[in-house]
Structure 1
Amino acid sequence: MTDDCEAERTALANAFPEANIILCCFHVLQALWRWLWMGKNRIASTDRQHLFFLVKSMVYADTVENLDHCFQEATADPKVQKYPNFLKHVNKIYDRREEWATCYRANIPVRGNNTNNFCEAAMGVLKDKVLIRTKAFNILQLLDFIFTRLETYYERKIIDIANNRLDVVKMSRFMPTDPKIENIIQISDSEFLVSSETNQDQTYTVNITVSMCTCHVGCRGAPCKHQAAVVKRYNIQSCNFLPIRHPQKRQQLHYVATGQHLQLSWFATLSDVPEEDRDAACLEATEECILDASVEEVSSAREESRSASVEEIIDKSTQHAALLDEYHSVCQDIESTIRLRLQTDATFIPAVQAFIDGAKQLKNDSSLLSALSTFGRYSGHKVRNGKRNQLAGLKRIGVQPTAVARRKKLHVGGRKCDQRGRPCASSRHVTSKASLLPSVLPKKTRRPAPHNMKVCVAKNTGLGKTHGKK
């Protein structure tokens, strides 16, 4: 699936002669919208939206018959008849309908992707996350960045999925939802009959092995609610959904990312592992992290760890007792100080009451741990910063990562890269050092057209250029 680049498509056809080379639907419609806005084609601005939606209905026709019907309606449309050049352009596009029409992809497992957005997103990761929108790299540095930072980036993403850190996943269609479908009949080990959510008389066949369904969404391999219902009901793994409750798949993902063989119990939930076996499972999982070690070395390390466990328990008990004694002494000192101050200073009364109220609100171990870790940190006392030799307060209120990007600053250029990514048009109004002078007002530049085709079609505006001036 590519855009309409003749050189690229010819090269792919020569390299893979048996492959189906199809066009990205988005790029087809984007090229059409740009064609409608070209001045040499002389299309009236009031007719551009109507002509665009005629071709769009052809692109997303569900059957070949509907595609032919949409084409006949488009050619017979009065507004189309006004522009012979557009009619000629539509006929030229229609001749290549097998490449861009979605109805011709019924037997192609595109997994619900009619655009090449995955390729665009991958290039966006390379430009934004790895190179940080900077061009100051030679060939060797570029090669090093691709094989080090880019690989590390994807490694972190796979590890997050393996550890069920799903807050980093923003593609909700790969998350198994909980649809309200109750009638599910299992035919075989891999096939299920699932009733429709809206029409109980309609049923669909789900094949969980190939992750496909007979509905209009899952017939091309895309994740649908019928597959999600089977996954949730029978706790079956499907390649269309993230392995949330499948330790085996997450174990494989972790091995793909790191090359380390971890114990299966490492990825199991606490409810799946008995309480008496959790410590032993953690010990075995930690031992499996040792790479390139022989069986004898692992067994000897296990025996040494077990022999040393008794000594560690004795040492920990001694340390805990000493820690508790020191804690009681500190509490007694604080209590004696408060008793003395309450008699002379009334400002200690609301402070002590606030401490009591805050202690009563600690409902779990996490809150208690946070309170103990931050006790005395926010007293307002200032120390001297060694680097800048300035007074620096201990109380620092953190901000969100995007808060710094929202602060208004003048973009004066320079070789220092901008960590915020591509700067917006409103921040590129300073063109020279002379405009920084108080007597010179900043030069206002025209805001370029947006790149969002949906917004441009709705507002009937032209698309902005993304690849420089031509």
Structure 2
Amino acid sequence: MHESKLELEYGINSDELANATINPKYRTIRHWYDVWKENNLGSSNDISVLQKLEEKKKYYEENGIIVRYSENPFAILVITSIMKRAHQLPFAKDIAFVDSTSSCDIQSHSVTFMLAPCGVGAVPLGIFITKGQSTVDYKAAFTLLKQSMPNGFNAQGFPKQFVIDDSEAEKQALQSIWPESKINLCRFHILQSVWRWLWDTNHDVLKDDRKILFRLFHRILVATNLHSAEEAYMTAIGQISTEYNCINNTVIPLKYEKWIKYVNNYWKRKELWCLVFRDASVHGHQTNNFSEVNVRIFKDIVLSRNKAYNAVALVDFICTSLEEYYLRRLRTFVNGRNDTARHIFEDQLKRAVSIKKDSIKKLSENIYRVQSETENTFYEVDVINGFCSCPKGKLGAFCKHQAAIYHHHEMNMPSLPAINTESRYLLAKLAFGEHVREKSFYMPLTAESNIISNNIALKEGADLNDQNNDDPHCSSSISQTITNNYNNDHENNYAHDYAQQIQNLFTKNLEKYNDTVSTSVLKKCLNRLQKVKYVAMWESFLSTAGSKIPLRHRSRATIHVQPTTLARRRSGVTRGSKRLPVGRPKNNDPPKKKRRRNLAENVEKNIPNAKSHGIGH
């Protein structure tokens, strides 16, 4: 590129192309780069790395970055400005995620991330660089964090629980440094390891029995109380004969002694992975997906899938590229350029469409009782702690009952997605610190309640009893209400007529074509109908049913082909009605697609699960 620029500027046969001061040789440039690396990054051995970090310590401190290191065992801690402020997040005292990755530099140092959840996902509390992934290495790294941030984790000094992979070294190190914290294992990695164990040919499990055994273990994991967990455990090892573990009077688990031993070993440490031993302080986080995403961000975006020169280069990448990445992501969210949180809230609000204001009772200052929409059941919601007694909300996740309370009573809750001004301002302070804009800058142009009401219309009409009769606008409001009620009555009549026509057509077509329709098609339709649980799902079913049948004939409509034509097409050709490519065919074969990383789907299909990275995953 440099020579091409000189050719355009001076000519293809100019003297400047032979001038080493203007057009240096590749060997000269390589030498300059080696000298720059030696001066700024040191050599590749650990002693030189620590010496270079000591030289750059003043530079880090001037930029508000904490860099601490230990010589033996080798460990480095990096805490940037955003990471410092992340320790002030409300959830930092409740839960933290820990995961490690290696092969990030030439010396294959291990990089460990410790993260806390927030409104945009998770942000690091600290990043560690160690020689390996042993208990001694982790202890040295975690000790540096405890010494550097004695009032970390929202001034508590430790989180209530860590979520990790099934790494014994990580678990022992965390328990040693923070004995007050509880260790939770990632739900996904537990189930993934069980599925891989069942597929291991050394364990001699028949293919047809693998799904049965996997679901028996899954029932232990998701049990709602200790009695159910114990009963599921006895069923999984064959001590109890039930419909779940028995086929043709044969108890499946009793066929495999290795399986019984495997489940017994897991049951001895059930407190680590069984959900019945967790509470609302996990805030709905049962996996360490945030850690997996953060590792991918670091390797793909920060390092561009290239190994760094040494540990000093890794520290510099963390302090610059990774810090800038999180700053941009936070800025995008607080500036209203990301609607993910609002979509999460609206999804739960759609599920709560049948929960009316009069079905919510206030029991105390922070306790509300919400009536279930499916059965005569009531759930209690603690708006201070973000807890609901429903299966989803009791582990701290945001549920439809909390969404209904926020919608009708505008009560802020810890588990509420970051959709209001307070949440955006908190994340803005996380990103910009003392340079954050005033709070009014992050307020929406339209009132938040109006935005929600416009996006999802849940209220059927105004309650006249709640209106003040002395209001001068009262008469106009009543007139408007009467008009709305009149329009609603007409719309309800139309809806009833349409529903009657749909029902008649369904009955007529079933009677007419029932003998020719395959059982699989009827079963698929039945499964879709059974999945309808609330109004939004029913509307979605009605709006998409029969989507392959054109509603009107148009000159531009696609010309469909016969089903037998699709069956005769060779591999690699489109199965739709698009125009087929013509001309000389390509010589190369179509690229092979990787198996999807969907554990539930792979279990249902009874195939092995795809593996992403690491030995123990």
Q: Give TM-score scaled by structure 2 length.
A: 0.45
In the TM superposition, residue 12 of structure 1 has moved relative to its aligned partner by 1.0
Match of 1:185 in 2: 361
Match of 1:6 in 2: 168
Aligned-partner SS, 2:604: helix
- Residue pair 1:176, 1:242 contacting (<8 A) in 2 also: no
Matched, 1:161 2:307: no
Change over 3 Å in CA distance of 1:5–1:243 after alignment to 2: closer
Instruction: Identify the structure with the greater strand proportion.
Output: 2
Match of 2:255 in 1: 82
Change over 3 Å in CA distance of 1:5–1:231 after alignment to 2: same
In the aligned structure 2, how far is the partner of 1:272 from the partner of 1:59?
A: 43
In the TM superposition, residue 11 of structure 1 has moved relative to its aligned partner by 0.7
- Residue pair 1:453, 1:463 contacting (<8 A) in 2 also: yes
Matched, 1:205 2:400: no
In the aligned structure 2, how far is the partner of 1:69 from the partner of 1:190?
A: 35
Question: What root-mean-square deviation, in Å, do the aligned CA atoms of Structure 1 and Structure 2 show?
Answer: 3.2
Letter in 2 for 1:190: N
Q: Which runs of 5+ in 2 are unaligned?
A: 1-162, 239-244, 246-250, 449-571, 573-586
In the TM superposition, residue 14 of structure 1 has moved relative to its aligned partner by 0.7
Aligned-partner SS, 2:608: coil
Letter in 1 for 2:271: E
Q: Which runs of 5+ in 1 are unaligned?
A: 274-425, 427-440
Aligned-partner SS, 2:601: helix
In the aligned structure 1, how far is the partner of 2:329 from the partner of 2:446?
A: 25
Matched, 1:456 2:598: no
Letter in 1 for 2:442: F
Matched, 1:252 2:426: yes
Letter in 2 for 1:153: Y
Within 5 Å, which residues of 2 pair with 1:86-165? 86-105=259-278, 107=279, 109-165=281-337
In the TM superposition, residue 208 of structure 1 has moved relative to its aligned partner by 1.6
In the TM superposition, residue 102 of structure 1 has moved relative to its aligned partner by 1.0
- Residue pair 1:160, 1:168 contacting (<8 A) in 2 also: no
Change over 3 Å in CA distance of 1:468–1:445 after alignment to 2: farther
In the TM superposition, residue 149 of structure 1 has moved relative to its aligned partner by 2.0
Match of 1:228 in 2: 403
Cα-to-partner distance string for 1:147-173 (whole Å, 9 max, x where unaligned):
222222222222233223333559726
- Residue pair 2:341, 2:418 contacting (<8 A) in 1 also: no
Change over 3 Å in CA distance of 1:95–1:262 after alignment to 2: same
Number of residue pairs aligned between Structure 1 and Structure 2? 303
In the aligned structure 2, how far is the partner of 1:193 from the partner of 1:449?
A: 45
- Residue pair 1:237, 1:243 contacting (<8 A) in 2 also: no
Cα-to-partner distance string for 1:45-96 (whole Å, 9 max, x where unaligned):
2221221111111111112111122222222242222211111112222222
Match of 1:195 among 366, 371, 374: 371
In the aligned structure 2, how far is the partner of 1:466 from the partner of 1:250?
A: 34
Worse overlay, 77-86 or 448-457: 448-457
In the aligned structure 1, how far is the partner of 2:309 from the partner of 2:381?
A: 50
Aligned-partner SS, 2:184: coil
Identity %: 33
Aligned-partner SS, 1:30: helix
Match of 1:438 in 2: none
Match of 2:212 in 1: 50
- Residue pair 1:174, 1:240 contacting (<8 A) in 2 also: no
- Residue pair 2:282, 2:396 contacting (<8 A) in 1 also: yes
Q: Give TM-score scaled by structure 1 length.
A: 0.58
Worse overlay, 187-196 or 152-161: 187-196
In the TM superposition, residue 7 of structure 1 has moved relative to its aligned partner by 0.9
Match of 1:337 in 2: none
